[in-house]
Structure 1
Amino acid sequence: MNELSDILLFGLPALALAGLGYLGVRARRGRGTTPDRTAPRAEPEVPPQDVVTPSTTAPSTTAEPAPEAPATDQPPAEPAPPTLERPEPAAGRMVRLRGRLARSGSPIGVRLLSVLSRDHLSEDDWDEIEETLLLADVGAGPSADLVDRLREQVRVLGVRDVDSVRGLLREQLLELVDPSVDRSLATAPVTLEDGTSHPAVVLVVGVNGTGKTTTVGKFARVLVADGRSVVLGAADTFRAAAADQLQTWGARVGVPTVRSDRDGADPAAVAFDAVHQGLEDGADVVLVDTAGRLQNKAGLMDELGKITRVLSRKTPLSEVLLVLDATTGQNGMNQARVFAEVAGVTGIVLTKLDGTAKGGIVVAVQRELGVPVKLVGLGEGPDDLAPFEPEAFVDGLLEG
């Protein structure tokens, strides 16, 4: 009985305490997972939608789309064609060269006149005259001939005043340049034996860097100014920019350009296509630009020879113009000899003649090649190419 009393006395309180501890542990474990019934429920995320602005808010600044134009059966308007340039007439352009040569201080005009005006001309003076001519790129042979003729005229006439000396020197220089030479350009259509009319075919040759392609473009402007219809042939297929450059020149005056779609194409084939196009169009002139490579003389000969043979199947060549840079002086003579031997040159085009104070290259190249200078470059403008006029050229040299 005593044992039962002890159990009741001490055991029941212990069990009660153990039960309370168990309930506390349950309460602590469930506190993190039991939802809080008093907290507001989170709204589910809804993707944004177009919201209609109520009338009480500020008006929107977004402009309403303009109403569509009513559909019509009219086709869209074509863009206006580009305005073509009108080249200035070629006549009288050499007047500009005369002024530029005078401003350049030509040694022929300044030094020769001063020496020849001296009271007494010694051997040293005549040596100075010859040296001046050589420095002006007149060449050894023409310089010696000019000195000999001046010696004789001065001894016979005894001229010393500036005006008389200027007239004497002008006469002798004109004789060297030779105004009697035919400098006309064969650009009229050709009538063959069968009675058919073909365009004049002008082949333009020269070393790259002399301004050859630019000269072809400027020459096209000269022909257009004279009322000729022209077709350009971009047969310089080894220089990527040559065809683009030539086409740009032609487009400015409404002249078509025949070219290949790929670099390195057969130049003879492009030249042939250009002549064929000229025949179909009834053009007056076909200008053919060619490559200018002198690294291999045999290769150049083969290439130009092939172009000449292929073109001759359609029509004979009217002109073969050699483009030379006047500022290279005597260094350009070697180039001239090679092309004259290979291509059968009929005329010279001297570019950049306004950029040299020498000018004697005109005499040298004519004497060396036996062909006349027909065109000269007067500057960088599109119409700065002119038919060569010996009188205006010599006057420009003497006014330096």
Structure 2
Amino acid sequence: MDTVIVLLTRDLRVNDHPALAEACALARSVVPLFVLDPGIRARGRQGFLHEALHDLRSSLRRLGGDLVVRSGDPVEETIRLAALVRADGVFTSADVSAYARRRERRLAEACAARRLLLRLFPGVTVVPPGALRPAGGDHYRVFTPYWRAWTRIGHRPVLPAPDAIRLPPEAEPGELPAPPRPPHGSLRGGETAARWRLEHWLALGLAGYAAGHDDLAGQKTSMLSPYLRFGCVSPSEVAARSLGRCGGEEFVRQLCWRDFYYQVALAFPDLPRRDYRERKVDWNGDGDAAQAWREGMTGVPVVDAGMRQLAAEGWMHNRARMITASYLTRRLRVHWRIGGEHFADLLLDADIPDNWGNWQWVAGTGNDTRPNRVLNPVRQAKRFDPEGEYVRRYVPELAGLPAASVHEPWKLPGRVPGYAAPLVALDNV
């Protein structure tokens, strides 16, 4: 082949990139293309995305190539560029959201009409979403049997970065949007930052993951999720390098959860919009309650700490995500779609399968085998933030309270000026 376009979507890296590696192996010239798609709301992730694109351009230039950037409809821009550089084919990574699959169908039709070869590659997950199917079903509905099947199937080998990339002279790279300054939160976008974080995690964090990952204040998780969401690091590489190490199996189990929700989303593309498992709930339409939750002013300290961490950092500890989501859906009875949209707006790592799969799991409409599960936020806080450090870090109104009372919402009104009264009483649970 003479020229191949590699359409990049959520795979912003050069290491372990199957579509890019295959293009470089088969074609004389390769055009890495990213299209700034106005049909996708970047929400709070725009700055992280722009940093990742700048970093990817630098990596590609070191290999002799470049990142070609266009703005508009990704299918139209890809076909327009293919005509300009006289491409023989288009390679891209397969994805599972309804929007991504429509894009793939449109791209297939456009390539077929112009006699361009289109190839879809793995790379967004460890195990391709459609690779595992239970007997008599199209996807796994329960995690544990999926985990057993996932651990038995062979994973593809991790690929090195290409040795070199040759860009055809007709491919004008185009301008990248400037990253914002200062960046949102403490996480910088891009493969360089992702690989540094992975190395640091494997050396210093992984061994303590099983014992410490639920410690709200301890910062004992990898924080690789935003980099996995944008493909700045390969989930296959993370899994391969973690397995066999102390703490590796428990950590890799979380990557399997991610794959699990991808295969759910592939089979049920309406995951962000309607109940996966119908559950009759008298949802509360109280907009004031939902707004108090968004602002971290519910009067329940651990809930408010989590929501304020989200607003400040674009990230939230996973245990806090479960607590805040359970409080919204189970205590306030606000629909899971309202909470999921807020998380989708602010989380750097929010993607469709994980975000909506987890929200439905907590709300009892998803893949939880115990759909009536309710998390008591006070008990959760006392167990996973016993000294109150996490709460005091994000709710400064409570900084002076001792650990014995910092998690008790019904003791706070009248004692803490400026802090909210609890929206619901929790002392009877």
TM-score of the two chains, using structure 1 as the length reference: 0.27
Which of the pair has more CA radius of gyration?
1
Which structure is higher in RCO with an 8 Å CA cutoff and minimum separation 6? Answer: 1
